Amino acid sequence: MKSFNIPEFYKSPIISKIKQLRKLNDPRKVDFSASVLDFGEVRFFISRHFGFCYGVENAIEISYKAIEENEGKRIFLLSQMIHNPDVNNDLLNRGVRFLMDTTGKQIIPFSELTKDDIVIIPAFGTTLKIEDELNKMGIEVRKYDTTCPFVERVWKKSEKLGEDNYTIIIHGKYNHEETRATFSRSEKNAPSIIVKDIHEARILGEFISGNVSAEEFEKTFKGKHCELFDTSKHLNRVGVINQTTMLATETQEIADYFKSVMIKKYGEAELKNHFADTRDTLCYATNENQEATYGLLKQDADLAIVVGGYNSSNTSHIVELCEQKLPTYFISSASEIISKTEINHYNFTKHQHIVTTNYLPNKKPVDIILTSGASCPDSVVDEVLQKILSYFNSAKSVEEVLHKMMN
């Protein structure tokens, strides 16, 4: 797989070494067990897969290349390049400006742009409408387009589904940048509708089965389907694609559910005429990170710390998985760790920050699961580990623990 040129300050002396060791020992990525850093007083269980994925590294390389190649020019990002505050803040500090926020609200009007300006497309991609606007201004949209190749693969699948006369069901968060970009393409190719989760999928499935009224359908899906969506004929033949950062298991559950709905309505023999197999739209990196989280959770631990941007979809799903087993603290950086007794963390369900006291149990060793989202730099995870470690005065040194791991 291609390697990318990303700034050294995103790498780390601890985490990057662990990743490299696992890569050497497990090149086929079949071992999802945790790496163990045993410092005596405290032990960290590190996920097999986490941090920057292919799409994120690709986006970072292109963005910094745009800065290097365009000294003196105005450089803009459509919105956050990825959902990580450290990466976005560094780009801002280098003079890059955001045109929109993550919801699509304009910060700087497009009317202020000129054909000489540089516009970077974020890793989530953008809508066809926005692409068209920029092209009409003479801006080279494709020159610094950081859209993840795996997002583009979903777009190609939507095009194929449209060619085969399937209605497209998108599993995603309605107002997420990636889902908006995917929807803009899928609705061009075919009738399209967005379902947020298995709950909404079941409402749609019950409508297909004739058990939910048109009023209930519109109440749930108003603004979440294309114009001229005809419920009498556009739900007879369906395929499922997804926002790549959603839980892969949930996307599969939704696809399997619609498959069962079509079998029940039309019979097994007619399934191919009413349901498309779209398993290949699941992002490998998201899937690997989630599989690694399941492997990580086989460890007996006292708590989990998940590091990443609070608006990161893939990170919130990792938090969701960890919370099912043990106390979990979702933080954006080491600065959220106030002291050995206090941690400021984020409740993504309630969208609020919480300060928890006595989060580290009074025992030895303290066992901590540590992982991050796909847009979080290794260096940030490294800082979290180092800060926690600083609270244990009799802990072994990093050099001693790494030496033991490497030999």
> So which residues are the catalytic ones?
178
Angle at 216 between CA 213 and CA 220, to 5 degrees: 145
One-letter amino acid identity for 73? K
Number of H helices, E strands in the chain: 13, 14
Q: Which two tokens stand for residue 195?
A: 């379902």
Cβ atoms within 10 Å, residue 403 = 10
| 308: DSSP letter | S
One-letter amino acid identity for 404? K
Q: What is the rounded CA–CA span in Å between residue 84 and residue 140? A: 26
Q: Which two tokens stand for residue 172?
A: 């995603």
Point out which residues pair with 371 in neighbouring strands.
306
| 313: DSSP letter | H
Can you spell out the DSSP letters for 194-249?
EE-SHHHHHHHHHHHTT-S-HHHHHHHHTTSB-TT--TTTTTSSEEEEE-TTS-HH
How many angstroms separate the Cα of 168 from the Cα of each of 151, 195, 239, 253? 15, 11, 5, 16
Q: What is the rounded CA–CA span in Å between residue 241 and residue 82? A: 21
How many angstroms separate the Cα of 184 from the Cα of each of 77, 238, 396? 19, 18, 54
Can you spell out the DSSP letters for 353-398?
EEEEES-S-SSSSEEEEEEE-TTS-HHHHHHHHHHHHTT-TTPPPH
How many angstroms separate the Cα of 21 from the Cα of each of 33, 55, 71, 405? 14, 22, 38, 9
Q: What is the rounded CA–CA span in Å between residue 48 and residue 287? A: 12
Is the preceding peptide bond at 365 cis, omega within 30 degrees of 0? yes
Q: What are phi and psi of 45, to 5 degrees?
A: -105, 115
| 158: DSSP letter | H
Those residues whose C-beta lies under 8 Å from the C-beta of residue 146, and which sit 6 or more positions away, are 58, 59, 62, 63, 81, 120, 121, 122, 123
